[in-house]
Amino acid sequence: MLISAIGFTLLNTFIKYLNHFNVYQIVFFRSIGSLFFTVPFLLKNKIYSLGNKRKLLVLRSVFGFISMVLFFSSLKLISMGSAVSIRYIAPIFAIVFAVLILKEQIKKVQWLACVIAFLGVVIIKGFDIEMNVLGLLYALLSAFFAGIVYIIIRKIGDKDHPMVIVNYFMIISGIISGCLSLFYWKMPQLWEWFVLFSLGIFGYFGQYYMTKALQSSETNMVAPLKYVEVVFTMIIGVIWFKEIYNIYNLIGILLVVSGLIINVLSKQSK
DSSP codes of every residue in 95-110: HHHHHHTS-----HHH
**What whole-number distance in Å separates Cα of residue 2 and Cα of residue 120?**
24
Predicted pLDDT at 186: 92
Predicted pLDDT at 214: 64
**What whole-number distance in Å separates Cα of residue 193 and Cα of residue 270?**
49
Residues with Cβ within 8 Å of 96's Cβ and at least 6 positions away in sequence, in order, are: 114, 147
Q: How many domains, the chain?
A: 1
Predicted pLDDT at 128: 61
List, run by run, the mean pLDDT of 10-residue segments along the chain (270 residues).
89 92 95 92 91 92 95 92 86 82 79 85 71 90 91 85 90 96 92 92 86 65 75 89 85 87 72
| pTM of structure | 0.87
Full domain range(s) for residue 242: 2-268
Element (DSSP H or E) covering residue 184: none
Predicted pLDDT at 111: 84
Predicted pLDDT at 227: 79
**What whole-number distance in Å separates Cα of residue 213 and Cα of residue 205?**
12
Predicted pLDDT at 120: 86
What is the DSSP-derived secondary structure letter of residue 189? Answer: P
Nearest-CA neighbor of 145 among 81, 204, 72, 206? 72
Predicted pLDDT at 25: 96
**What whole-number distance in Å separates Cα of residue 216 and Cα of residue 27?**
30
In degrees and rounded to multiples of 5, residue 38 shows phi and psi of -70, -45
**What whole-number distance in Å separates Cα of residue 34 and Cα of residue 109?**
37
Q: What single letter denotes the amino acid at residue 213?
A: A
CB 42 within 8 A of CB 153: no
Question: Count of CB atoms within 10 A of residue 47's CB?
Answer: 14
Nearest-CA neighbor of 267 among 52, 129, 92, 43? 92
Integer CA distances (angstroms), 229 to 1, 23, 29, 151, 210, in order: 10, 22, 22, 23, 12
